[in-house]
Amino acid sequence: MSLFDRKGPRRHAPAELVSTVEDLEDVRAHFGGEPGHNAVVMTMGALHEGHATLVRAARERVGPDGFVVVTVFVNPLQFGAGEDLDRYPRTLDADLELAFAAGASAVFAPSAEEVYPGGQPQVRITAGPMGDRLEGASRPGHFDGVLTVVAKLLHLTSPDLAFFGQKDAQQLAVIRRMAQDLNFPVEIVGVPTVREADGLALSSRNRYLSPAERRTALALSAALFAGRDRLAAQEALHARAVALPADPGRAEALSRIGEARAAADAHAVAQAAEGGGADAVRAAARAVLDEAAKAEPPLVLDYLALIDPADFTEVGDGHRGEAILAVAARVGTTRLIDNLPLRFGATQGAAS
């Protein structure tokens, strides 16, 4: 039952927990949110600061009088055989406290019967080829389950804006593609990844890590940062090569007179002038992961990929433009993912 005064619209109202679509519609109607100022943040619960950041971003976007609903639903369709559906943490009381403190107007925590009244749906949305790569290859059918529940919840919550974290980069990409391809009247908003002080991306699964496993898990973010730093170094060299065209003969001459460091620098500038760099970024990240594979407990790599965000295919060594460096690995029994957005050729445009 709704807890607010039924006498009329009420803005700045205390947030409420609802479990049925009927009650959610009732809350929205009495809250008084205007068209264009309704937002949803979809979660599976076990909320943390990353989710709070999404809620705050939604609140900032719709304003103090807008309507922000946080959904808490552990979707069975996106868990494969042997995955952690039953183990997935359920912490609704703590979730409510965090969501309301971050600015939610309501928390919609439906039962499976409310979302799938006829049982698991026979008709589902498929993610297509984009959903078969990386996470989709490791977890067949996962993104079909994600898109099906996201489509359902978009219909049930009727938002103008839907906020998702960039940590789940492939999920964000397929949701954006679904909204575009199927003409959903909603803007999909990506929010940057939130990290702990040591660099580990916030995740509900982090709570499964022992102290030793957490130390090993830091290799995921460390690998991404190594790739990012390698790209930054390459971009700086490229800028030098554009400003002062490199002379391979100079590098050879320096080598002959024993100026090894200067020669190496000249060679690097000459190579930067020729473009490339994606392979070096992959190599820098992989070196960190290879070391973590020797740790105790070891990191077991699932994939490291440098992909085009448009279709999640691997980029070539001469790639220019946006890319995502993504990694997935297991530490103990816990599977973790992380990614960083990168841009190749940032200095090229500035120099031309």
Backbone angles phi, psi at 338, to 5 degrees: -160, 165
Rounded to whole angstroms, the Cα distance separating 57 from 70 reads 12
Rounded to whole angstroms, the Cα distance separating 192 from 207 reads 21
- What's the N-to-C CA distance of the chain in angstroms? 63
Confirm whether 51 is a catalytic residue: yes
Positive/negative CA dihedral, 232, 341, 69, 204: negative
Rounded to whole angstroms, the Cα distance separating 34 from 46 reads 30
| Choice among 30, 37, 51, 319 that is catalytic | 51
Structure tokens at 32: 């008084």
Rounded to whole angstroms, the Cα distance separating 169 from 159 reads 21
- 68, β-bridge pairs: 39
Length of the chain: 352
- Residue 231, phi-psi category: left (phi > 0), alpha (psi -120 to 50), beta (remainder): alpha
Omega into 297 within 30° of 0, i.e. cis?
A: yes
Active site residues: 51
